[in-house]
Amino acid sequence: MQDEIIATEYGEFSSTSSSTVKDIFDILGWFFTIIAPVLVYFFTPEIEIDGFGNEPKIFLCIVLSASVMWIFSLLPEFIPGIFILLATVLLSLVDSSIVLSGFASSTFIIVLSIIVMTITIIQSGIMKRFLLSLLKHTHSLHLANWILFGFGILMTPFLPSIINRTQIMSPLVREIGGHLKAEKNGFSLLFASGFLSVSLLSSSFLSASLLNFIIFSLLPLQEQQQFQTRGWFQGTLVITGIVLTSCFLTLPFFFRNKEKNEKISNTFSSSLEEMGKVKIEEIVSVGALFIFFLGVLTSQYHHISGSWIGFSILFLFLSLGFVKMEDFQKKVDWPYLFFLSAIVGISAIFKALGLDTWLYNHLLLTFPEILKDNMILFSSIALVSLTLRFILPVGAVVALLAPTILAISVKIGISGWASCIVLLFVGDIWFFPYQCSFYKTYKSGFSNSEINEKKFLIINAIINVIKLLALFLSFYYWKYLSLI
């Protein structure tokens, strides 16, 4: 009884202490959110750009304030971006059509359409049916593991939300582990393969991450035409191959399984039978996704843009009732769509105020070596991105750095896509769980007693180091493709 009282009191004390620390942290965050832009505005030199007064400096102060909100996690990730747009409009820094350009972009329609198609696929159960169909002839844990890994890789380019992919994968890993009666080592292998397969190549395919669409929408029109689905993957071919090879080598090494391989095909078959016959919703959801990607890949022949194809599918799904209005309101990732539109608007404001030219000229005077050597430039992007990821979420890092990186790339005459792909791949790198929100979502479905998390984090760190090395090897591949 005494132990319970002590434990209860200790728990309450820990909770109270943690709450107090958070309150102090939040107060500090709001203090710096207000005071930092004021100090910068009054105590730093004026920004001299032809045709403008103090508008560029005011805009940078607004961005600084939003950056502090991101650093201290004071608000949901998309709200500081909306704050930048709102403050810019209220202060009449640029025309409102420039500020709201992200909401009128074709990328907004494409992403919304893909998200709706993703919702129908998840609800139909076709992904689970497909995986069970592959596993029903499986007789060993190792074979089941690689089928699971391949399934995750296959799912990556077709479902653009990493969180959605982890939400699909997490219960499947648990179910497969149950069918296989896997012990901790085997279950940890499935856990690691499941997560890595749906997250590792999120920057390798245009449609594998919503952040990729943000970068795509910021690229010049010529590069948008060059780096659509096929061109994007071609550009990431080297790093994708190296990262996949590292997985094939590290996973078997760290999870050498000593469990017996039992015949387990009947258990998967019974689960497949419980799902019944293929439903019309499964056929329609997969068919719509296939038509969309086929239309995008062949747009050069029929000259119908991806946004119109996606918009047509969205209209049909809503009008025919394949997506219920309740799901459209609650399951579409509206905060992310606002975040995407905000970043596009921020980039447009950045250019409209002449900050791209101003920044380039100052970097040329201060760090001329960075702009003269592409390898040093890419190394600098990687270093800054990696450092910021310890204090900022990946979306905020992309929001802050992408407009600047693209502006510099245009000025020095190299591919903006190549510079931004470094930002995306490095932004995906994380070493501690607090840095990765979708890992925390994935892990929430498992208890610490079921998995060896320490071993997984070591594997993740090794693969991340290999990913950095692969990026530098890609530098020579991009030279071969005449991108840099």
pLDDT in tens, 84-136: 999 999 999 999 999 998 888 888 888 889 889 888 888 888 888 888 888 88
326: enclosing H helix or E strand: helix 325-330
Residue showing tokens 């419980």: 274
Q: Where are the alpha helices (DSSP H) in 255-322?
A: 265-274, 280-297, 299-302, 306-319
pLDDT in tens, 253-277: 888 765 444 444 456 777 777 788 8
pLDDT at residue 58 in the model:
94
How many other C-beta atoms are found inside a 10 Å radius of the C-beta of residue 23? 10
Task: Give the pLDDT band (50/70/90) at residue 83.
Answer: very high
444: pLDDT strictly greater than 50: yes
What number is the average pLDDT over the span 452-463? 93
The encoded tokens of residue 470 equal 């692969």
Region for 140 from its dihedrals, namely left if φ exceeds 0, alpha if ψ lies in -120 to 50, beta otherwise: beta
Place of tokens 């029903």: 136
pLDDT classification of 418: cutoffs 50, 70, 90: very high
Query: Is it the case that residue 1 has pLDDT exceeding 50?
Result: no
pTM over 0.85: no
For residue 95, the one-letter residue type is D
Q: Are 65 and 37 in contact (CB under 8 A)?
A: yes
Lowest mean pLDDT among 64-78, 196-210, 233-247, 365-379: 365-379
Instruction: Tell me what the pLDDT averaged over the chain comes to.
Output: 86
Would you call 92 helix, strand, or coil by DSSP? coil
Return the domain boundaries, the chain: 2-74, 126-274+353-480
In the prediction, which pLDDT does 235 show?
93
Helix, strand and coil in the chain, % to nearest 5: 75, 0, 25
For residue 202, give both structure tokens: 């999120």
Query: Mean of the pLDDT values across residues 274-281?
Result: 85
The closest alpha carbon to 196, from 242, 157, 140, 244, belongs to 244
Question: How far does Cα 125 stand from its chain's mean position?
Answer: 24
Report the alpha-carbon distance of residue 343 to residue 304 in Å, rounded.
26
- For tokens 């997506």, the residue is 323
Q: Is the distance from CB of 369 to CB of 376 less than 8 angstroms?
A: yes
Q: Alpha-carbon distance 122 to 113, whole Å? A: 14
Task: Decide which of 139 and 451 is more confident.
Answer: 451
